[in-house]
Amino acid sequence: MRKSIETENGLQCGGRFLHLSQPQVMGVLNVTPDSFSDGGRFVAPDRALQQAALMVEQGAALVDVGGESTRPGAAPVSEQEELDRVIPVVEALTARLDVIVSVDTSNPVVMAEAEAAGAGLINDVRALRRPGALEFAAGSRLPLCLMHMQGEPGTMQSDPRYRDVVTDVGDFLQSRMDAALAARVGRRRLLLDPGFGFGKSLQHNLTLLKHLDRLRDLGCPLLVGMSRKSMIGAILNKPVAERLHGSVAAALLAATAGASIIRVHDVGPTVDALKMWQAVQAAS
């Protein structure tokens, strides 16, 4: 009988357990040349390992490795190129660091190779919609994050429209949960991500954040990523490199609304801010 993937307060992510009684921080590790924030900085496995080690030291419970940029306007990469970027890094991180390694991919071949290399979570911006992804999920033991995205990265920001963004995103996530359940993927293995910045205007993003608690009603932990994104730049009128304070504020708002995992570039400041928030929450 297969071991349960989730308990009441966490997820079994491969050989490591992720506690979710308090929000956890996921560090972003892009091993791509063209990511919007840090493209090209961590392509080499040794540089990626150094950055991941720093994030773990600063308090990251997970490190999310991505080999295909999903920034607005990004071009797709070949399966082999994604494998060449991601798998050596996953192998290095799982061998040397005490951290859960997540892999940001929509490709079922990359998912399978990443699991074999020791990854503990699959983070799919396309919510298992690519051919073969649901089949992988059904045969895997790993938790899976299903994200909402309107369109594809190359065109998603051209003219995003919704009848009601919170309802529409919730309906999409429910439909992908239903597809996973029909493929015999246990509900307790699923996480949900509303997809801030993925086919959404500034107002769409703000409305989603304001009403994020409504998505908790779907019954799965929420993973949220707003770090350094254009929604923060638009509000603060600041470039990517100057969005730290806005990113930390967004992380705290997400935690207050019930997000279980906060995906960020700046791990240390976010961890510190969450510790303060948690101390206040625990006070009598």
Active site residues per annotation = 229, 263
Contact 170/148 with Cβ under 8 angstroms?
no
Q: Give the DSSP per-residue string, 8-59.
A: TTEEEETTEEEE-SS-EEEEEEE-SS--TTTTTTT-SHHHHHHHHHHHHHHT
User: Across the strands, what pairs with 27?
Assistant: 63, 264
CA distance 18 to 6: 9
CA distance 177 to 248: 29
CA distance 230 to 37: 11
CA distance 115 to 101: 10
CA distance 270 to 249: 9
